[in-house]
Structure 1
Amino acid sequence: MVRLIIDTDPGVDDAFALTLAARSPEVDLLAVTTVFGNVGLAATTRNALRVLALCGREDVPVGAGAARPLVYPQPFEAKAVHGEDGLSGRAGFLPPHARGAEVEDAVTLLARVLDESPEPVTVAPIGPLTNIALLLAAHPHLKQKIDRLVIMGGGLRGGNSTPAAEFNLWCDPEAARRVLVEEDVPAVLVPIDLTYRCAVDGTWLTRLRESGPLGEELEALTTVYRAHYNQSLGFDGTVLHDAVAVAEAISPGILTTTRVPIHVDTSFGQGRGSVIADRRLTAAEDEPGFRPVDIALETDLDGLREFILDGLR
Structure 2
Amino acid sequence: MNIKNDENQSELFLDDKEFEKTMRKNRRRAIIKNVVITGSALIALYGGLSFGNKYWLSERLTKEDNATGVWLSITEPNIEHHASFYNWNSFSADATHEYSKKIGERVIPWESLTGHYNLIYSEKEPSNWINHYNEKRKNWEIFNSQNGQRELIFYHPQVQYKQVPNDLNLLDEIGSNKYVEYALSFDRPYSIVELQNLLDKQNTEWLWIDTESDKEINSLNQQELKEVEGSFNRGNIYGYPYNSQNDWQSPELFIDMLKSPDFYGDYADKAKEILTKLKKDNPKLNPEKVKIIGAVITGTPDELKKYQSKEFIKASSLGATIDKY
Q: Same fold (TM over 0.5)?
A: no
Which has the higher Rg, Structure 1 or Structure 2? 2
Give TM-score scaled by structure 2 length.
0.29
Superposition TM-score, scaled by structure 1 size: 0.30
Q: Which has the higher contact order (CA 8 A, sep 6+)?
A: 2
